Amino acid sequence: MAQVTFLEAIRQALFEEMERDPAVVCLGEDIGVYGGAFKVTAGLLERFGWERVIDTPISETAIVGAAVGMSYLGLRPVAEMQFMDFIACCFNQITNFAAKSYYRWGAPVPIVIRGPSGGGVHGGPFHSQNPEMYFVHTPGLKVVYPATPYDAKGLLKSAIRDNNPVLFFEHKFLYRRIKEEIPAGDYTVPLGKAVVRRQGRDLTIVTYAAMVHTCLEAAEQLAQEGVDVELVDLRTLLPLDRETILQSVRKTNKLLVVHEDTKTGGIAGEIAALVCENAFEELDGPILRVTALDTPVPYSPPLEERFLPNVNDVIRAARELARY
């Protein structure tokens, strides 16, 4: 077992899947000679050559459109968005072509669209967004957002091997800040399965991506106050692991949902509805949400810190819920 960064775990997954399956190809802006804006694809071009590591024009629509076409011809493309914010440029290709292709005429689209997302690095409103919920609303897609190096590698491998189009969000704040020992050999993590990161009895926190680490830190502080938090990391947002969420809420009887995405239309609302429909009688308090503000992501570091959920926000909400 070797300790690697979140970024290196993703790079390993790409190398290993390209070694394993000659149908896997990568395409995107500056992924070849430059090695990617964050150096995730560094070394791929030297190992696999121009035919499998393709530098593209600055056109997200063209990148995804080409990836869909490649998949029809038997390839398994991994398309990089230099920043996931610009996935909006290819919304039509993803939601009306990739997502509906199998439903319309039985043609699978085994593509992965991956790239950096999220805030905390003072990237401003066009380089710090969490646009996952635009696509969680789209049947036919799978949406993945890991929190650890182990999961990032295992989930990306599963995404590449999946016959459905998968959107793979990589929180850029985690790239070089989070390290973990991961197995040297091949392994996968199943899509659509959440994991309980911390066992607890007093309340459940459901979260994903970088907020997993924020919530774990909050949980440790709450434990010193006698509040025992159970933490569920969703890992995959679509399909959503409903059973793990409900099982935890039935155990603790209280639910706090935390995410970095803005509040209105965020997945917290969907999870709250799920629990109210299926476990209302188990609840001993209101379902609370801790999220980003309903504004664009500020560029100013102090404003961004105010915009993003933090440990103190989680602790305050958890204390309120624990007292209820």
Burial (CB < 10 A; 0-12, 13-18, 19+), residue 46, is exposed
**Contact in structure between 261 and 130 (CB atoms under 8 Å):** yes
Burial (CB < 10 A; 0-12, 13-18, 19+), residue 122, is middle
Handedness of CA 134, 139, 142, 147 (dihedral sign): positive
Out of 127, 171, 213, 259, pick the active-site residue: 127
From residue 164, how far is each of 167, 221, 315 by CA, in Å? Answer: 10, 41, 38
The answer to whether residue 171 is catalytic is: no
**Contact in structure between 140 and 106 (CB atoms under 8 Å):** no
Distance CA 215, CA 72 (A): 42
The number of beta carbons lying within 10 Å of the beta carbon of residue 251 is 14
Helix (H, G, I), strand (E, B) or coil at 195: strand
**169-190 per-residue burial string, b: 16 or more CB within 10 A, e: under 16:** bbbbbbbeebebebeeeeeebe
Distance CA 296, CA 231 (A): 28
Question: Of 136, 154, 18, which is closest to residue 78 (Cα–Cα)?
Answer: 18
**139-150 per-residue burial string, b: 16 or more CB within 10 A, e: under 16:** ebbbbbbbbbbb
Q: Which residues are catalytic?
A: 127
